């Protein structure tokens, strides 16, 4: 490793990034993690991190500010479990100026938008940026007031104009064209054309030190350092996750997987399926797609079970596979027609005709069958991965055979020992856990598991956040929130009088009477918490705090 600044990424045995750090000297910084003499001074968190490290990547940059910018970007991209800083949505500062404004001015922002303005940055050191911006305003006599278009009352008491800091274009001291020349010179200065200013500051600093005015010399030294930090060229990391060196080579993993399973070629497209439910409720499934060993998120799909009741993973897997590839066949039959992700099945006659055609192509060989449906947007996978053992795999293979897609390779991956089940094989296959093929299958399985659990959690949050008030006609989110803020729960709202309800903002006497009658007619119905508990969902008191945490109603739950 080089004695250069850069960023390092720690990975576990699954290839997941668990920590991102930056260093001025990569060799010295990374080596500290593996020195036994330092282990006695580590805390529990650092010990757990080092024990989990299975591999690491490094990316060399030109300077320490570049390392800070890249570190923040990668932490937001990978969200490692052992990182604390940079995990929020806060971004580094940018300097913005819009030359189309009547009187342009420099402003600080954290979000780059396509508004026609010119942006400088991002800057790793916000303090240095603010001090440099103050220097630029004084050097080029630029306005520092916040008003976009100053009025007469604003510039009448403008201290910047009286102190000769600003040329005051708002009161006509200079024309707009002359002021734009000042702005252009300031932009060139921020672009790095500041050698003359640096030489002047260095000369003033040495002159102050010679005169024994060390306080002024120190101020000039700090200002010179801020100027160098702000105007230093930094690389913009727009697509860093794809340019980073990776220890796990997807192409190599695909080759190992093809050799292990006896496939004719590396599987370029893998589709993984998983089931998620809680005690037989909220039955959902997920389908994730990997292309050339990397996630293809545009082709992810999720399903809510329509025909299965109770906890039956095999039946859920059969329904998911049937709906997924029935829709794929329907897109082959009608390629220009768009269908819903959870429906859109063709008629029985159309489906049978397509199944017969695919089956006839399959009898001519797998290549002919693949070419039959190789159309844009409806490509068959080279490998199907089922999260589960022999039961789930057999259910999926049975549905594929009914659709004439029995030629597609399908395997099952059991979690405990990472055993690979294959159709027609009584005993599972076990590969070395350090094998790249196993790691690739684990990534597909873990991604399908995450996607299914996320959908299940969304449905549970939606059900928990439902309220009896959702059924009252004509009530919106604002009035419902006002009621819950005033009374705290539906139970307390039932005990309130019509006058108390009418005192809530947004309610009148007639609406209060209708709501009172509505609640009285549903007194015998259980509360949402009781209904959820009967269905296997953890009950929570319907308080203002919980409803604020979960969101009032179900419209705030994202897809």
Residues 283-287, mean pLDDT to the nearest whole number: 92
CATH fold group of domain 6-78 = GIY-YIG endonuclease (3.40.1440)
pLDDT digits (tens, 9 = 90+) for 325-338: 888 887 765 444 44
Assign 3-class secondary structure to 44-81.
Answer: HHHHHHHHHCCEEEEEECCCHHHHHHHHHHHHHHHCCC
- C-alpha distances in Å from residue 321, one per residue of 206, 269, 291, 326, 451: 77, 16, 19, 8, 16
Give yes or no on whether 250-454 and 465-550 have one common fold. Answer: no
Any residues with CB less than 8 A from the CB of 457 and at least 6 apart, and which? none
Residues 437-461, mean pLDDT to the nearest whole number: 87
Which class is domain 250-454?
Answer: alpha beta
pLDDT digits (tens, 9 = 90+) for 384-422: 999 988 999 999 999 999 888 888 999 999 877 889 999
| Paired strand residues for 97 | 118
Q: CA–CA separation, 29 vs 41, rounded Å?
A: 16
Q: Choose the most confident range, by mean pLDDT, from 333-342, 363-372, 382-391.
A: 382-391
Residue 284 three-state SS: strand
Assign 3-class secondary structure to 393-432.
Answer: HHHHHHHHHHCCCCCCCEEEEECCCCEEECCCCCCCECCC
Q: How far apart are the first and last CA of the chain?
A: 44
Assign 3-class secondary structure to 193-251.
Answer: CCHHHHHHHHHHHHHHHHCCCHHHHHHHHHHHHHHHHHHCCCCCCCCHHHHCCCCCCHH
pLDDT given at position 321: 93
CB 467 within 8 A of CB 490: yes
Question: What is the DSSP code string of 344-363?
Answer: -PPPHHHHHHHHHHHHHHHH
State both tokens at 87.
Answer: 């995990």
pTM of the model: 0.47
Q: CA–CA separation, 145 vs 105, rounded Å?
A: 8
Whether pLDDT at 201 is above 60: yes
Mean pLDDT over all residues of the chain?
75
Residue 96 three-state SS: strand
For domain 465-550, give the CATH number.
1.10.150.20
- For the chain, the structural domain boundaries read 6-78, 93-231, 250-454, 465-550
- C-alpha distances in Å from residue 526, one per residue of 136, 200, 467, 477, 491: 67, 79, 11, 22, 11
């Amino acid at each position: 490793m080089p004695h250069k600044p850069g960023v390092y990424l720690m990975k576990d045995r699954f290839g997941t990034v668990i920590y991102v750090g930056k260093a001025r000297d990569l060799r010295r910084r990374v080596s500290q993690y593996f020195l036994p003499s330092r282990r006695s001074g580590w805390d529990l968190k650092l010990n757990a991190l080092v024990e989990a490290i299975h591999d690491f990547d490094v990316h060399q940059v030109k300077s320490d500010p570049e390392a800070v910018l890249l570190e923040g970007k990668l932490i937001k991209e990978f969200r490692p479990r052992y990182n604390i800083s940079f995990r929020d949505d806060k971004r580094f500062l940018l300097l913005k100026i819009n030359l189309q404004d009547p009187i342009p001015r420099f402003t600080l922002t954290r979000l780059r938008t396509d508004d026609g303005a010119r942006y400088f940055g991002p800057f790793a050191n916000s303090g240095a940026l603010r001090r440099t911006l103050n220097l630029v305003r004084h050097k080029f006599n630029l306005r520092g007031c916040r008003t976009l278009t100053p009025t007469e009352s604003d510039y009448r008491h403008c201290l910047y104009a009286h102190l000769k800091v600003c040329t005051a274009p708002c009161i006509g001291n200079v024309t707009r064209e002359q002021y734009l020349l000042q702005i252009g010179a300031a932009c060139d200065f921020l672009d790095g054309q500041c050698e003359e200013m640096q030489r002047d500051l260095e000369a003033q600093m040495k002159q102050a030190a010679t005169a024994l005015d060390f306080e002024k010399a120190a101020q000039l030294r700090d200002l010179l350092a801020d100027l160098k930090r702000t105007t230093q060229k930094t690389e913009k990391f727009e697509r860093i996750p794809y340019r980073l060196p990776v220890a796990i080579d997807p192409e190599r993993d695909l080759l190992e997987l093809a050799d292990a399973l006896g496939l004719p070629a590396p599987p370029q497209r893998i589709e993984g399926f998983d089931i998620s439910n809680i005690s037989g409720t909220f039955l959902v499934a997920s389908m994730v797609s990997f292309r050339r060993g990397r996630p293809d998120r545009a082709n992810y799909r999720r399903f809510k079970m329509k025909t299965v009741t109770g906890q039956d993973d095999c039946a859920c897997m059969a329904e998911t596979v049937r709906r997924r590839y029935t829709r794929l066949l329907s897109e082959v039959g009608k390629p220009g027609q768009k269908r819903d992700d959870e429906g859109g099945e063709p008629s029985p006659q159309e489906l049978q005709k397509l199944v017969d055609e695919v089956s006839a192509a399959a009898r001519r060989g797998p290549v002919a069958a693949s070419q039959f449906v190789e159309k844009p947007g409806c490509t068959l996978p080279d490998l199907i991965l089922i999260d589960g053992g022999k039961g789930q795999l057999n259910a999926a293979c049975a549905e594929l055979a009914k659709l004439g897609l029995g030629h597609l390779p399908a395997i099952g991956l059991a979690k405990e020992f990472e055993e690979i089940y294959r159709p027609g094989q009584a005993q599972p296959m076990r590969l070395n856990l350090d094998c790249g093929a196993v790691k690739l299958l684990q990534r597909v399985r873990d991604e399908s598991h995450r996607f299914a659990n996320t959908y299940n959690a969304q449905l549970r949050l939606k059900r928990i956040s439902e309220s009896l008030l959702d059924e009252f006609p004509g009530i919106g989110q604002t009035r419902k929130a006002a009621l819950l803020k005033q009374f705290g729960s539906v139970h307390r709202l039932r005990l309130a009088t019509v006058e108390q309800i009418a005192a809530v903002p947004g309610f009148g006497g007639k609406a209060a009477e209708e709501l009172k009658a509505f609640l009285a007619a549903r007194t015998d119905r259980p509360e949402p918490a009781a209904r959820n508990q009967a269905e296997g969902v953890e009950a929570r008191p319907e308080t203002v705090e919980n409803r604020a945490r979960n969101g009032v109603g179900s419209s705030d739950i994202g897809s």
